[in-house]
Chain A
C-alpha cells in the first residue's frame, strides 16, 4: 500500500471534542455492486475510548464498510462523521491523515527491514535531503512503546519476530501515525491463546487512553470478552446491537446467520476400525531445505478423527503435504491401508481414495480465475464422465457442478461464474464439495475452516463428522485449538516439527493443550528451529 506522508496531518492535538460526540459516526452507508447490495443503510457509531466489535458472516459487508471508512470504496449513499463533522475520505492516505488506521489480517510489513524502518515507512523523517533520521524515529517508538506497555526492540528485524510481536508492530505503526481510530481485521486469527490474551490487554490499555477501536472477528467468545459493544451485520444490514453482558454466543450466532446455529457439532461416538494411515518416522524438509517434520509417527484408524493441534508454522503443512504427495519425503514411510505410498504422485494418492483440503485454498485448492465448473472437477477432469478420451465433456461437468452446488449449498449466481466472485466460505464449500463427493479411505484436512464464519464452519464440521461415521479416517490439522478440541477423537500436539504429546479428544484440557502448543512441554525452546511463521495467507 502506498501512503504518501500525511503532510497535512495536523496531529489531532487541538481541543478534543466533548466526549459525548462519537469519535466516528457512519450514517446510512450504502454501497451497491451490480446485483449485490454490499452495504444497505448501515449506521455505526464509535465512541471515544470504546472497543466496538463488528460481527458478521463472510460476505456480510464488514469489509466493504471498512473499505468505505478507509477511503478504498466510495459509498453510493450515506455520510461519515469524525468528531461530529462530516468528512469526505478520499483514500487511505487521507484516512491516515485523519487519524484512522487499519491493521490488516495479512500484515503489511517488510520482513528484511527493522521494526523502526517498517514503522516510519511512508513518513520518513529526513536528517537532510539524502539520509534518513532514524534516531528520532527510534526515540518516538520507544516513547510510544513505554507509554502503552509494548515490549519491542526498534532495531530488531521484523523477520525475526513472532506473529504476535509482528502484530504489535502493526499497531505501533498505527499509533506512530497518531491514529485515534484503529480498525483491527481479525487480529487473533493467527495467534495462540496466550498471545491473544496479551493483545487484549494492550487493546484495553489503548482504549483507556482514548483510542477507539473497531474489532472485526468471527470468534464469538473473544468478542464477548473484549468488546464494549457489538454490532452484528447480516447481508449488508445491521441486524442488532448488543452489549456483551446482555447477550450470549448462541444469540450472536443466530443474529449473524439468521437461524439457530449449533456452535459445537455433536461429534457422537467414534467406532475406530482398522489402521488406515500409518506414518512412520517421517522426515520432511521445507522449501529451503531445513527440517520441518522430524521423525513423526502417527496412526489414523478408519472412522476416527486424529486432530493435530499446533501453532501455525510448526511443520503441520509440510507433514500433510508429504502425506498427499505434494512434497518430497526426506525419510520414513507413509502407508495407506497397508500399501506403501511414500513419495507417490499426487494423482496416485488421490486415486487411492485420499482427499485433501489444503490450508491455503487460494494457492492450492482453487484456480480463482476459472469458473466454478472447472474448479469442481479440478482433479477429476480427465476421468469419466468429465472427459471422453482427451476431449472434455462440458455437459457432464456442468451437471456435476449443478449437483454439487445444490448439495453443498454453494451460493453463486451461476455455475460458470469465476471462483473469485465467491465469498471465502463458499469457496471453501466448493473445495469440500469436490473432495468429499466420493468414497474416501482417508480425508486430510489442513485448516479446513480458517477465516470462515460460524454458518460455514458448522456446515463443514457436519460433513466431516458424516465422513468419519461412514468409516473414513480423518487427519485434521488446525491452528484453531477449539476446532481440534471439538472435532477430534484423539489429539496430537505438533511443536517444532515433532509430535510432543497425544491426548484423548474427549477429556483434553484446553489450557494444557494450549501450553503444549506454545512450549512443546519443554522448559527451553529449541534453538535450531528456523521455520518462518505462517501468516495465514487465506481469508
Chain B
C-alpha cells in the first residue's frame, strides 16, 4: 500500500535517501552487538564465573584492538576480509539476478583444491606463469561448481537453494577424496595435499599481507562495472528484478542464469584459490572454513551492492581477525563472533519487524536482496 515517492533532490532529501539505504544494516549491527553483550553477561554464570557487567566492554575493546589496533592487526583483518569480499561479491551478483546461491562454500573449497591441482602442474615454473595459472584453476573450479546448479535451474527449473546445498556436500567429499588420493602429499601420514610451489602468492605488506588481498579489492570495480555499465549487467539486473519483463525485452533468462551462477562461482573459487595460495599453501582432507556461509551475511549486509559488500566484508573480517585476542584478554570464546554474525543476519531477514518496531517509515521498501531470499523463483524463471 506504500505510495512510491519521486526522488527528492534537496540535501535533506539526499540524506534521507542515504539513511534509507544504510539504516537497516547499521541498526542490525548495533542490535546484534547489544544481544552479543547480553549473551556474554548472562552466560558467565553458566561457566561458573561471576556476573560482570563490564565484560562486554572489555571483550569488544579487545575485539577492536585485535582487528584494527595496530599494523599487523589491520593486515590480519584484510587477510580475513579478502575471501569474504570475493565470495560476497559472487553471492551479491546472484541476488541481483534473483538467484540465491548458498553454494559459495562448495565453490570456495573446489576453487581451493583446483588451484592446488593447477599449481602442482606448474609448481617449478616462473611465478609469473605459475600464479596466474593456479588462480585461473581456482576460478574455473568454482565456476564449474556453480555452473552445474545453473544448468539444472535453467533446463529443469531445479531450485538453486536445493542444488547448491547438495553441491556443498559433494565438494566436501571431493576435497576429502582428492586430498587423500590423487593430490596427496607423497609419503605423508596425514591426508593432506602437496604444496603449491612457485604458485604461492608473494607477501606484499607486513608479515602476511599477500597478493590475494590486492586482487580481491581490484575485483570490486570490475563487478561494479559489469553490473552497472555493461549491457550484460543490465540483463542480469533485469532478470533479477522481473524475469517476465526481461523475456519480453528479448533477453534470455536461461542463459543469464547459467552465466550469473558461473561468474558467482568463479568469484567464490577465486576466494578459495587466493586463500590457499596466499595463506594455507595446502589443504587437508578435513579443511574447514566458514567463508562460504559468512559471505551470505556479507552480501545481505552490503545489500548486494559491490561497495556495500566492501564495508560488510571488512566488518565481518575484522570480527573474525579480532576474535582470538578477545578470547585471550576477556575470556570470551571466539564463537561469540558467530553469535553476533548470526543475529545480524536474523535482523536483516526479519527487517519488517525492525521497521515496525523502530518506526522506520519509508526506510527501504526496496530491500530487494532479502526478497530474493524469500521469494526466489524456480521453474517460473525459464518459461
Residue A358 at the B interface, CB < 8 A?
yes
Residue A382 at the B interface, CB < 8 A?
yes
Residue A300 at the B interface, CB < 8 A?
no
Within 8 A of B (CB), among A316-332: 326
Asked if B247 and A369 make an inter-chain contact with CB atoms under 8 angstroms apart, the answer reads no
Within 8 A of B (CB), among A10-69: 33-36, 38, 64, 67
Docked pose: A364 CA to B237 CA in angstroms: 15
Asked if B247 and A346 make an inter-chain contact with CB atoms under 8 angstroms apart, the answer reads yes
Stretch at the interface among B1-9, B72-80, B138-146, B174-182: B1-9
Asked if A367 and B7 make an inter-chain contact with CB atoms under 8 angstroms apart, the answer reads no
Asked if A381 and B231 make an inter-chain contact with CB atoms under 8 angstroms apart, the answer reads yes
Docked pose: A256 CA to B345 CA in angstroms: 49
Residues of A contacting B: mostly: loop
Asked if B241 and A36 make an inter-chain contact with CB atoms under 8 angstroms apart, the answer reads no
Asked if A350 and B250 make an inter-chain contact with CB atoms under 8 angstroms apart, the answer reads yes
B366 contacts across to A, CB distance below 8 A: 369
User: Given A346-B247, A369-B366, A387-B231 in contact, is the A64-B3 Cβ separation under 8 Å?
Assistant: yes
Asked if A374 and B234 make an inter-chain contact with CB atoms under 8 angstroms apart, the answer reads yes
Number of interface residues of B (CB under 8 A): 28
Docked pose: A161 CA to B4 CA in angstroms: 34
Q: Least Cβ distance of A298 to chain B in Å?
A: 22
Contact check: which of A38, A378, A391 meets B238 at CB < 8 Å?
A378
Asked if B7 and A416 make an inter-chain contact with CB atoms under 8 angstroms apart, the answer reads yes
Residue A296 at the B interface, CB < 8 A?
no
A416 contacts across to B, CB distance below 8 A: 7
With CB as the reference atom, state the residue of chain B lying closest to A328.
B383
Residue B242 at the A interface, CB < 8 A?
yes
B3 contacts across to A, CB distance below 8 A: 33, 38, 64
Residue A518 at the B interface, CB < 8 A?
no
B383 contacts across to A, CB distance below 8 A: 287
Residue B229 at the A interface, CB < 8 A?
yes
Docked pose: A531 CA to B8 CA in angstroms: 45
Contact check: which of B13, B229, B247 meets A392 at CB < 8 Å?
B229
Within 8 A of B (CB), among A357-392: 358, 363-370, 374, 378-379, 381-382, 387, 390-392
Asked if A365 and B7 make an inter-chain contact with CB atoms under 8 angstroms apart, the answer reads no
Asked if A378 and B245 make an inter-chain contact with CB atoms under 8 angstroms apart, the answer reads yes
Q: Least Cβ distance of B78 to chain A in Å?
A: 31
Contact check: which of A287, A392, A412 meets B6 at CB < 8 Å?
A412
B241 contacts across to A, CB distance below 8 A: 367-370
Residue-wise, chain B 210-243 has the 8 Å CB interface mask toward A (1 for contact) of 0000000000000000000111101001100110
Residue A347 at the B interface, CB < 8 A?
yes
A38 contacts across to B, CB distance below 8 A: 3
Docked pose: A364 CA to B246 CA in angstroms: 8
Asked if A382 and B247 make an inter-chain contact with CB atoms under 8 angstroms apart, the answer reads no
Within 8 A of A (CB), among B246-269: 246-250
A418 contacts across to B, CB distance below 8 A: 4
Asked if B250 and A346 make an inter-chain contact with CB atoms under 8 angstroms apart, the answer reads yes
Docked pose: A413 CA to B168 CA in angstroms: 48
Docked pose: A421 CA to B249 CA in angstroms: 21
Residue B20 at the A interface, CB < 8 A?
no
Asked if A420 and B6 make an inter-chain contact with CB atoms under 8 angstroms apart, the answer reads no
Asked if B368 and A369 make an inter-chain contact with CB atoms under 8 angstroms apart, the answer reads yes
B234 contacts across to A, CB distance below 8 A: 374, 381, 392
Residue-wise, chain B 1-40 has the 8 Å CB interface mask toward A (1 for contact) of 1011111110001000000000000000000000000000
User: Given A378-B238, A392-B234 in contact, is the A365-B248 Cβ separation under 8 Å?
Assistant: yes
Docked pose: A410 CA to B328 CA in angstroms: 64
Q: Least Cβ distance of B193 to chain A in Å?
A: 39
Residue B244 at the A interface, CB < 8 A?
yes
Asked if B250 and A363 make an inter-chain contact with CB atoms under 8 angstroms apart, the answer reads no
With CB as the reference atom, state the residue of chain A lying closest to B230.
A390
Within 8 A of A (CB), among B123-147: none
Asked if A413 and B6 make an inter-chain contact with CB atoms under 8 angstroms apart, the answer reads yes
Asked if A367 and B245 make an inter-chain contact with CB atoms under 8 angstroms apart, the answer reads yes
A420 contacts across to B, CB distance below 8 A: 4
With CB as the reference atom, state the residue of chain A lying closest to B380.
A287
Docked pose: A85 CA to B280 CA in angstroms: 76
Asked if A364 and B6 make an inter-chain contact with CB atoms under 8 angstroms apart, the answer reads no
User: Given A64-B3, A390-B232 in contact, is the A34-B8 Cβ separation under 8 Å?
Assistant: yes
With CB as the reference atom, state the residue of chain B lying closest to A419.
B4
Contact check: which of A35, A73, A364 meets B245 at CB < 8 Å?
A364
A73 contacts across to B, CB distance below 8 A: 1
Asked if A379 and B250 make an inter-chain contact with CB atoms under 8 angstroms apart, the answer reads yes
B250 contacts across to A, CB distance below 8 A: 345-347, 350, 379
B248 contacts across to A, CB distance below 8 A: 326, 346, 356, 358, 364-365, 378-379
Interface centre among A382, A417, A418, by most chain B C-beta atoms within 10 angstroms, is: A382
Residue A209 at the B interface, CB < 8 A?
no
Residue A264 at the B interface, CB < 8 A?
no
Docked pose: A365 CA to B248 CA in angstroms: 7
Asked if B6 and A417 make an inter-chain contact with CB atoms under 8 angstroms apart, the answer reads yes
Asked if A390 and B6 make an inter-chain contact with CB atoms under 8 angstroms apart, the answer reads no
B231 contacts across to A, CB distance below 8 A: 381-382, 387, 390-392
User: Given A367-B242, A392-B229 in contact, is the A326-B6 Cβ separation under 8 Å?
Assistant: no
Q: Least Cβ distance of B312 to chain A in Å?
A: 21
Within 8 A of B (CB), among A380-427: 381-382, 387, 390-392, 412-414, 416-418, 420-421
Residue A72 at the B interface, CB < 8 A?
yes
Contact check: which of B1, B5, B244, B247 meets A421 at CB < 8 Å?
B5
Docked pose: A35 CA to B7 CA in angstroms: 9
With CB as the reference atom, state the residue of chain B lying closest to A382.
B231
B244 contacts across to A, CB distance below 8 A: 363-364
Asked if A72 and B6 make an inter-chain contact with CB atoms under 8 angstroms apart, the answer reads no
Asked if B245 and A67 make an inter-chain contact with CB atoms under 8 angstroms apart, the answer reads no
Q: Least Cβ distance of B364 to chain A in Å?
A: 12
Interface centre among B13, B241, B244, B248, by most chain A C-beta atoms within 10 angstroms, is: B248
A356 contacts across to B, CB distance below 8 A: 248
B6 contacts across to A, CB distance below 8 A: 34-36, 412-414, 417, 421
Beyond known contacts A356-B248, A367-B242, A370-B238: 10 more, CB 8 A cutoff: A34-B8, A35-B6, A350-B250, A365-B248, A367-B238, A367-B246, A378-B249, A379-B250, A381-B234, A418-B4
- 14 A-B pairs (CB sep. < 8 Å): A36-B5, A38-B3, A364-B248, A367-B241, A368-B241, A370-B238, A378-B238, A379-B250, A381-B249, A391-B231, A392-B231, A417-B7, A421-B5, A421-B7
A-B pairs, top 6 by smallest CB distance, nearest first, are A347-B250, A379-B249, A413-B6, A420-B4, A421-B4, A364-B248
Q: Which A residues lie at the B interface, using CB under 8 A?
A: 33-36, 38, 64, 67, 72-73, 287, 326, 345-347, 350, 356, 358, 363-370, 374, 378-379, 381-382, 387, 390-392, 412-414, 416-418, 420-421
Q: Which B residues lie at the A interface, using CB under 8 A?
A: 1, 3-9, 13, 229-232, 234, 237-238, 241-242, 244-250, 366, 368, 383
